[in-house]
Structure 1
């Protein structure tokens, strides 16, 4: 499934205006960036090896992708080695920290003052 999504993003090229991929509904309806705005462009940039562009489109998304890769690696290692391996998502505070980070990201990327105005995509 993830491979199909990546293929659609690769073919759709969300960095071009008028892309076949849909725009963010929050941005289209309310005119503000949601925490996930820029994620398609961020993934497209990551797939093309452009880390700086990916960070510009959605910095928190790049960190989230890194954490997901880490979690998948830990799970895969545990399956192949036959031993369970604890990772970041197994701690009880992980969900609360993720919620706080996403909420703060949502607020600061919509502030119309410098340097936060540059986070608006």
Structure 2
């Protein structure tokens, strides 16, 4: 017995729906925790910052998300500008994944471009260095 196309599509959408649910729960936790102050419950610290005192490429992302959830884009940029710039690429990838599951075939995104991993690694390395430089204007990137 074959599965009707409608049922197969709905089953294919279970994983994307689960990602939306997990993202919603994550957003609720970030909102409740308020990582920008001591008002909420504590979230675990960044292990890189805890061990080295340096900001890793992801430091400030939780506070960035909190700021975005409150509509404060400038503060979000302060917490992690590189992650903010990556959001459209993440949404593009997620949307293509959902569309591919809906259509039943893969949708090509920027991730399949030949140079994408190399450019990504170089940008992460540059961001890691400049956000830890101890002089103006780079010291403003330290969170």
**TM-score, normalization by structure 2:** 0.76
Give unmatched runs, 5+ long, in structure 1.
none
Deviation at 1:105, TM superposition (A): 0.4
Deviation at 1:2, TM superposition (A): 2.6
1:104 aligns with 2:120: no
Report how many aligned residue pairs link the two structures: 121
CA deviation string 1:17-37 (max 9, x = no partner)? 375112212212211111111
Deviation at 1:77, TM superposition (A): 2.8
Give unmatched runs, 5+ long, in structure 2.
1-21
Measured on the aligned residues, the alpha-carbon RMSD in Å equals 1.7
* Worse-matched range after superposition: 13-22 or 39-48: 13-22
Deviation at 1:83, TM superposition (A): 5.5
Which residue does the alignment assign to 1:63?
A: 85
Larger radius of gyration: 2
**TM-score, normalization by structure 1:** 0.88
Deviation at 1:92, TM superposition (A): 2.2
Distance 1:95 1:48 in 2: 32
Distance 2:107 2:72 in 1: 31
Distance 1:107 1:17 in 2: 29
